[in-house]
Chain A
Amino acid sequence: MNFPKVAVRKYWLGALIGLYLLSGFYIVGSDEVGVVRLFGRVWQPRVQPGLHYRPPFPFSRLDKVKVRQVRRVAIGMETADVVLQRQPQPFRMQFLTGDQNIVNLQAVVQFTVRDPVRFLFAASEPERIIQCVAEAAMAKEVAQMSVDDILTVGKIGVQNRVRGQVQRLLDEVYDLGVTVVAVTIQKVSPPDQVKDAFDAVTKARQSRHQRILEAQSYANTVIPQARGEAQKLLNEAIAYRDRVVAEAKGNADKFLALLSEYRKAKDVTKARLYIEVMEELLPKIKKVIVDPRGGKLDISMIRREPTGSTPQPSPSQ
């Protein structure tokens, strides 16, 4: 009767011990790294993904760290604000610029865990340290920039400098085992109380731009027009030159041709030319023929004849 009882007890004991030993198996996911502490001391600092065994509790403890995960801390707002998508308190966003203006600024620091052991054991609240260090770096940077810079072109520079500073501090002073991937300014704007004044400046800047564009477009029409006109002047001049020269050549040739004819029969040609002209002209005009032997010209003769067209009020003789 005793025999089966013992067998059952032994069976239970064996099963319990077996189960206990089996509890030492664990799985590390593909995006994780395991850290195993044996009696509180780091035993295996980087357990790669897969199935592994460790001495069961209470001899060892296991922490799994997602090393691929990009973690975020917020600057200029609370993490709760990010989650709930709610507007943070004004004083949380406000930063003081180098020219003593107040700007609202919100940024996010992204980091990954490079060294799980340092990340797990170096600080009680590593994310809070990162948040403090990053926010201090941001405050320091903004305190050295003008409000115009930070609102316009300075953003990228600030992000890079803050990232560099935070990384350097976290490595040299804290040794937190994290890599700062990026510091991103998500929103930077003037406070609501002065927003309209800033908008007015933007508008004024645009109007300046507009004015300049208008002036440039004026210049861009006036100058080509002038060039066109200049070309026209030149073309006209060239045409004139060509015409004058061609005329000269033509007239010269005509003259030379006439001359050669004239030389063949000087008197005849001379007379012919003269008479031709007279023939042409005399029919058109009024003629008064005077015999020089009479010697005198009676001007009244001319006057008496009506001209047919407008009479000359005082014919000059």
Chain B
Amino acid sequence: MVRNGKRLVLLFVVGLVALIAIWRCFFVVDETEWAVVLRFGKLVKVVEDAGLHFRLPIDSVRKFDKRLQVYNPPATEFLTGDKKNLVLDVYVVWRIADPVRFWQSVGDPVGAEARIHDLVWSELAAGLGNYDLSQLVAVRPEREEIDEATRISELTETVKQRCQQIASRLYGVELVDVGLKRINFPEQSKEAVFARMRAERERIAKRYIAEGEEIAAKIRAEADREKERILANAYREAEKIRGEGDALAARIYGQAFSRDPEFYKLLRTLEAYRKAIDDKTTVVLSSDSEFLKLLMQGRIGGEKR
């Protein structure tokens, strides 16, 4: 019974060791990792693919994150080509591209970020010297294209390209993107900027008021002119109509009166008497006038005598 028990324990121990040895022969590489297999500190292989992989039990495995990393330290001051201080908030997106070189040269992400910082920030400082502030920051007319190259992207693209080579050759790091999250003036010069903004606003406000007066005056003047034009046209038209009326009336009179001009004269003269003579008039009548003839002669038909 005792022997049997000892054998059982032995079997268990041997089994356990074998199990551990078999377990040690495999290692898991995640989707997010690179794995470097080392035998006594010497590189055996680099595993890129995720999954279950084989190794000798004596090998050790180091893993590196192969995902994209963001490096975004607090904003720092830079000098533009025209000697203006700008605060730039820079971010760098990077990933480990060559785990062996990365491991040998920088070791860990913190070391990598320190080197990326030195590299990118000095390139950026140099690159920014080629631009004036008014080039980086400039109003451009409404664009159709969604992502037209700008000076800012030109700058970041240049910086990225300059650093990319060094980063991959020396540190095994791929620089995926360099971008400017923010461009701003430093705190100490903001007061001056605000003063300038204020002056500009005042100028614009004055312009609006002057413009309002001007446009309003123009509209009023145009309205007045239009009014005069309408009235003048109407007057002309009215006079024409009156003239037509007068002409037509004259023609009607003419046609009628020309039948017997003598009779017309008579009638018209009599009519004129009616109008011309009133109670303030003193008339000196000759007794042989047509009206008084009979009166003087004393009898009717005197003239026949």
Contacts and interface: CB of A to CB of B under 8 A. Distances in A.
Nearest to A124: B67
Nearest to A144: B140
Interface stretch (B3-11, B113-121, B210-218): B210-218
Contact of B183 (A96, A214, A238, A253): A96
Contacts of A225: 227
Contact of A133 (B177, B209, B257): B177
Nearest to A162: B146
Interface in A108-161: 117, 120-125, 128-129, 132-133, 135-136, 139-140, 143-147, 149, 157, 160-161
A248 B252 contact: yes
Contacts of A26: none
Contacts of B72: 128, 132
Contact of A238 (B215, B241, B253, B270): B241
A270 interface: yes
A102 B185 contact: yes
B82 interface: no
A311 to B, nearest CB: 11
Nearest to A315: B282
Contact of B137 (A123, A129, A143, A273): A143
Contacts of B188: none
B10 to A, nearest CB: 21
Interface string A48-75: 0000000000000000000000000000
A242 interface: yes
Contact of A212 (B49, B215, B235, B241): B215
B75 to A, nearest CB: 8
Nearest to B193: A102
Given A223-B230, A289-B285, A290-B286, A197 B177 contact: no
Contacts of B193: 100-102
Interface in B150-177: 150, 152-153, 176-177
A290 to B, nearest CB: 6
Contact of A214 (B91, B182, B216, B249): B216
A191 interface: yes
A102 B190 contact: yes
Nearest to B280: A309
Interface stretch (B37-45, B122-130, B271-279): B271-279
Contacts of B142: 157
Contacts of B153: 140
A241 B244 CA distance: 7
A37 B213 contact: no
A129 B72 CA distance: 10
Given A136-B179, A245-B252, A208 B238 contact: no
Interface string B50-75: 11100000000000010111101000
Given A128-B72, A135-B181, A277-B273, A161 B146 contact: yes
A279 B147 CA distance: 108
Contact of B152 (A40, A97, A140, A256): A140
Interface in B7-40: 28-33
Contacts of A120: 31
> Which range contains the number of A residues in contact with the other chain?
35 or more
A260 to B, nearest CB: 9
B239 interface: yes
A168 interface: yes
A222 B190 CA distance: 52
Nearest to A145: B139
Contacts of B246: 244
A229 B212 contact: no
A215 B190 contact: no
A37 B50 CA distance: 9
Given A124-B67, A200-B201, A219-B222, A281 B274 contact: yes
A234 B30 CA distance: 97
A143 to B, nearest CB: 5
A144 to B, nearest CB: 5
Nearest to B288: A292
A212 B218 CA distance: 9
A210 interface: yes
Given A133-B177, A194-B197, A211-B215, A139 B249 contact: no
B194 A194 contact: yes
A255 B51 contact: no
B185 A124 contact: no
Contact of A215 (B136, B181, B216): B216
A197 B51 contact: no
Contacts of A215: 215-220, 223
Interface string A278-317: 1011101111111110000100001000010100000100
A197 B195 CA distance: 10
A240 to B, nearest CB: 5
B184 interface: yes
Contacts of A218: 219-220, 223
B230 A227 contact: yes
B260 A259 contact: yes
Contacts of A315: 282
Interface in B83-116: 91, 93
A293 B211 CA distance: 92
Given A121-B67, A222-B223, A273 B198 contact: no
Nearest to B88: A139
20 contacts: A102-B194, A121-B32, A122-B68, A124-B68, A132-B91, A133-B177, A135-B181, A139-B152, A191-B194, A203-B205, A211-B212, A211-B213, A211-B216, A218-B223, A230-B234, A245-B245, A248-B249, A277-B270, A281-B274, A285-B282
